[in-house]
Amino acid sequence: MCRHIAYLGPPVALGEILAAPAHSLVRQSWEPRRQKYGTVNADGFGVGWYADGDPVPARYRRKGPVWGDESFADLARVVRSTALLAAVRDATFAGADGEAAAAPFAGGRLLFSHNGAVRGWPGSLEARAAALPPERLLTLAARSDSALVWALVQHRVAEGDELSQAVADTVLDVSSAAPGSRLNLLVTDGSAIVATAWGDTLWYLHEPGRRTVVASEPYDDDPYWREVADHTLLAATHTDILLTPLKEPAA
């Protein structure tokens, strides 16, 4: 369980998105308004962002609560970007992975976060894990359900699937193997955002040609925030939002 957010738009200091709004992601770490599962997101946090001229995003992640990290406050004040993805984490299970288990995960141009939990983990996904190439398993970022879900998305992308299709197919496949899982995924490559609403809240704020924000919950009370229906795939750019219903696998 966690809260996460992605932004595309004009250059902005990270803190203007993550800390300044009245109900920012930082505040959601201790006082989320719409979180269905868990109450405090203090088991790690992270932010990834893109710099001009470099397609590979930078990341800053820590294993503790965001509110106690003075270095993050400084970084968020001075670093500016046109695209970012950030998350605060409420761990499903206690573990030793610490910072490695904090989103965003990364691969090439992509940043990834998972809000939710795979039911029956790890046994429910043994067959899916076994089908991955060994090198993919050996490079898992952490021993967590989110890290494996990310590996499944990456494998589909590496096999040639378009990002939206890879995300949708992963959600449907994992849900088939582990019914009842909560699979709100969030991915960006710095120019587009792909997300799913599958078991928890998802919202978006879209000003065509200016800014697009996709988040677990609104960071302010702007009336133009829109909630995404459950079991929906969202694909967004600076100019468009496309919502596609996802059909839950038959039992």
**For 3, phi and psi rounded to 5 degrees?**
-125, 140
pLDDT in tens, 2-24: 999 999 999 999 999 999 999 99
pLDDT score recorded for residue 63: 93
Residue 81 exposed, middle or buried by CB count within 10 Å (0-12, 13-18, 19+): buried
Domain spans in the chain, listed from the N-terminal domain onward: 2-245
pLDDT in tens, 102-111: 999 999 999 9
pLDDT score recorded for residue 33: 94
Find out whether 49 and 2 touch, Cβ atoms under 8 Å: no
pLDDT score recorded for residue 248: 77
Find out whether 82 and 50 touch, Cβ atoms under 8 Å: yes
Please state, in angstroms and rounded to a whole number, the distance separating the CA atoms of residues 165 and 12: 30
Residue 16 exposed, middle or buried by CB count within 10 Å (0-12, 13-18, 19+): middle
Question: Mean pLDDT for the chain?
Answer: 95
pLDDT in tens, 69-126: 999 999 999 999 999 999 999 987 666 578 999 999 999 999 999 999 999 999 999 9
Quote the percentage of the chain above a pLDDT of 90: 90
User: Which is the catalytic residue, given 1, 2, 17, 167?
Assistant: 2
pLDDT score recorded for residue 91: 87
Q: At what angle do helices 163-177 and 145-158 cross, to 10 degrees?
A: 130
pLDDT in tens, 222-241: 999 999 999 999 999 999 99
pLDDT score recorded for residue 96: 55
Mean pLDDT over residues 136-162, rounded?
Answer: 95
Give the contacts of 31 (CB within 8 A, at least 6 positions apart): none
Please state, in angstroms and rounded to a whole number, the distance separating the CA atoms of residues 20 and 14: 9
Q: Active-site residue 2, yes or no?
A: yes
Domain range 2-245, its CATH number among 3.60.20.10, 3.40.630.10, 3.40.50.11030, 3.30.2350.10: 3.60.20.10
